[in-house]
Structure 1
Amino acid sequence: MRHTLVFTAPYLHSPKSAEISGILNGCNDIEARNSVIFLDRLPSSDLPSLYKYAIATIVPTLFEGSCPFPILESLAMDTSVAIGRIEVTEEVIAEMDAFITFDPYSVCEIEKAIHDLWMHKTTLLPRQKLAISNVLQRKWSEVAGEYYSLIHQIMDSN
């Protein structure tokens, strides 16, 4: 049974577009090649469905500003996650051992993480949700209040 690997960004305007095209075109298995999909930007209203109907989510980002949103969004929609080991994930998630993690620069580690996620997807979700339950229970108004307080502290110290 084949599954679809969906990337949530187009590659045609990427600095690596020629390399990605070469890899895809070099794949002799037409069914496998056609099972890799690169989406354009999605409307935010489509994101919950994307997470909800995914078997799992892989978050290899190196951009700390977007983290941990994809992790939280995926878990909120009951989809387990494998995440890159970058500083911000280790700062936000106290129980990293509940997650399958990988070096986002290592193709071998990403490949192993995808395999492990596939093999353990059903048993991971409860552990992952528990590991960040404090974050999942927070309200945006609480986060905004913390930022408001921090901004005032900075302004008062000047």
Structure 2
Amino acid sequence: MPEIQDFIVQHRLEEEVLCLPKLSVDELAACYKLATLAVNPSLSEGGCPFTFTEALSVGTPVVMAKIPVSQEVLTDPVLQELTFFDPYDWKDMAERIQWGVANREKLLAVQLPTYEQLVQRTWQDVVNEHLDILDRMVSQRGAAEGIS
């Protein structure tokens, strides 16, 4: 995006911010592996934010925006407390990043058990969950209309 590149140049951040479009899967994994901490400030991720599983797959802890989809998947209260920041508050984001860098091993220890659970999920699990939701919707609609 040209406006992002312009911002980087205007604020002399060329040494601090890297834009790496079109990385291969292996290149992305290498970037995660070499990172001290992965940060995901996204306000709209589909499913589980991929940053969580991608970074943890190579042993890099993650801090991320506290958004409904992430809260739905990452339900452990301690995990949420240590992982999430308010995406509308740059100070909260900065504090969470600083904390994550300073407490990398603690964060990793809290996140890895959830990562291990998530990687056990299959596409069949996803299909079954969607079918369960559809079944509940049909049942609720039938009950509301007096159909048994």
Report the TM-score when normalising by structure 1: 0.70
Per the alignment, in what secondary structure is the counterpart of residue 103 of structure 2?
A: helix
Root-mean-square deviation (Å): 2.8
Q: Which residue, out of 31, 36, 44, partners 1:50?
A: 31
Structure in which a larger fraction of residues adopt strand: 1
Per the alignment, in what secondary structure is the counterpart of residue 34 of structure 1?
A: coil
1:25 aligns with 2:6: no
Give % identity: 28
1:81 aligns with 2:81: no
Q: Deviations over 1:47-67 (max 9, x none)?
A: 222222221100111113164
1:61 aligns with 2:46: no
1:118 aligns with 2:101: yes
Structure-2 separation of matches of 1:133 and 1:104: 26
Runs of 4 or more off by more than 4 Å in structure 1?
A: 154-158
Structure-2 separation of matches of 1:130 and 1:155: 32
Structure-1 separation of matches of 2:55 and 2:73: 15
Q: Deviations over 1:95-142 (max 9, x none)?
A: 142233211122111111211111011221121112443223223343
**Per the alignment, do residues 140 and 52 of structure 1 end up closer, same or farther by CA in structure 2, a change over 3 Å counting?**
farther
**Per the alignment, do residues 151 and 45 of structure 1 end up closer, same or farther by CA in structure 2, a change over 3 Å counting?**
farther
Q: Give unmatched runs, 5+ long, in structure 1.
A: 1-10
Alignment of 1:1-158 (within 5 A): 11-12=1-2, 17=3, 21-22=6-7, 24-27=9-12, 33-65=14-46, 67-98=48-79, 99-147=82-130, 149-150=131-132, 153=135
Report the TM-score when normalising by structure 2: 0.74
Structure-2 separation of matches of 1:115 and 1:145: 40
Q: Aligned pair count?
A: 138
